[in-house]
Amino acid sequence: MVFSSLLFLFLYLPLFLICYTVLPKQLRNFILFIGSLIFYAWGEPIYVSIMLFSTLLDYTCGRIIDRFRNHPYLPKVGLCLSLLGNLGLLCYFKYADFFIYNVNSILGTSWQLLKLALPIGISFYTFQTMSYTIDLYRGKINVQKNIINFGAYVTMFPQLIAGPIVTYNHVEQELNHRQLNFERVGIGSIRFIEGLGKKVLLANNIGLLWDQINQTPINELSVVSAWLGMIAFGLQLYFDFSGYSDMAIGLGHILGFTFPENFNYPYISKSVTDFWRRWHITLGSWFREYVYIPLGGNRTSKARFYSNLFVVWFLTGFWHGAGWNFIICGLMFDALMIVERSFLLKKLENCHRIIAHAYLLIVILISWVFFSHDYLGEAFSYLKAMFGDAPTFINKVTCYQISNFYVLFILGSLFATPLMQHLKSKLPDWILYCFYLGILILSTAYLVDATYNPFLYFRF
């Protein structure tokens, strides 16, 4: 069951925080564990058992790795069990139908699709739990002997279902010893409200234009409408995902945790390389730490280096979804990264910043076409419309769309840059308090009026 988790969180959070703050410190991880399970079970009452199984699996494997540290092969057995268990669950629920469908298409077989619902957040929490056993095997962290504390880490609801991906070593100390104070609560509250405003006021409303254009028959689109649709989708995706990350980071501060940043204004980048240093930072860090570097990174031959990049970007695309559109999107970025590293980065650094920025935006908008369409045929048809294969360049519908949404495009463009953060630093505190209060009131009004506020990354 897909649910309006944002509205539930808004209603559930005050009660949870009262219990979390008032009850003894020794109970905080227990409260966090139980409270997170309740939050998750509200949307996935069946699949909460999958997350509990993953928790128990990695806790047990971690104890095996630690207990038999000096044994010749048992630590490897514990690590392999963890990896096979987590990746097995992820492949079964997320990729089984993809493989069955493609085998049927290639071999002419007729195996039935499983048609399993994807457990919310499974792509995120499986990566988090694997980071624990891998780092424990490497000797980078200490074993967690308290299963409640470990369960609190795995199920931690602020970032459970859409990131940022928080590796165990990032919160190891705070999981056992953390302090709550008014300063952190204030910082966290401001960050939460910023994320809430991004999601409810910007992403949801800009997404209305993308919904309109996406539902328009491809043979009725104008060239300008096709580009407007991708710009709207790109802004919606950014404010939706970065808004969730901001809320998670804010709630983390309130609970006494410091979560890693997940976005750093990616749309101001001037190259694909820079874009992926700024977009979904924790996913890139995870693949670099647990895939790219173990494969040899860039300290290998050129052929091996390109092979390593291919593996990472293939997996990055495939992580986002079980479809060839996501794989092509990942491989597209792989090719662009190779071209940039070979010669293009130097040229981009020497050319005018407007040209470099235009290059980046055009490339990203093209990539979002594959990201936003489940079927390759639809994606390629949409690309053709963007590049001239449309009945008109611009029509009355396009003009109407521009007149209705130009204010949101301006606001979205401003808030996608550091400009507003610089402006905030120059404003008096009372103006900022009124600003955030206004965002909170408007967002609450939208939430009460709306019955469904899905996050785009829930489907990944």
pLDDT the model gives residue 1: 38
pLDDT the model gives residue 20: 86
pLDDT the model gives residue 428: 87
List of the chain residues with pLDDT < 70: 1-10, 450-460
Q: How far is CA 144 from CA 117, 136, 150, 190, in A?
A: 32, 10, 6, 32
Single pTM value for the model: 0.91
177 is catalytic: no
pLDDT the model gives residue 454: 59
Name the residue among 196, 241, 261, 265 with its Cα closest to residue 371: 241
The Cα–Cα gap between 460 and 458 comes to 5
The Cα–Cα gap between 284 and 138 comes to 20
pLDDT the model gives residue 301: 83
Contacts of 367 (CB under 8 A, 6+ apart): 329, 332, 333
pLDDT the model gives residue 243: 93
Q: Tell me how far the alpha carbon of residue 335 is from its chain's centroid.
A: 22
pLDDT the model gives residue 297: 82
Name the residue among 165, 198, 199, 97 with its Cα closest to residue 316: 165
Active-site position among 320, 352, 373, 422? 320
pLDDT the model gives residue 2: 38
pLDDT tens for each residue of 91-101? 999 999 999 99
pLDDT the model gives residue 214: 92
Name the residue among 144, 42, 135, 54 with its Cα closest to residue 90: 54
For the chain, the domains span 5-178, 184-459
pLDDT the model gives residue 458: 54
Q: Provide the token pair at 112.
A: 């039935």
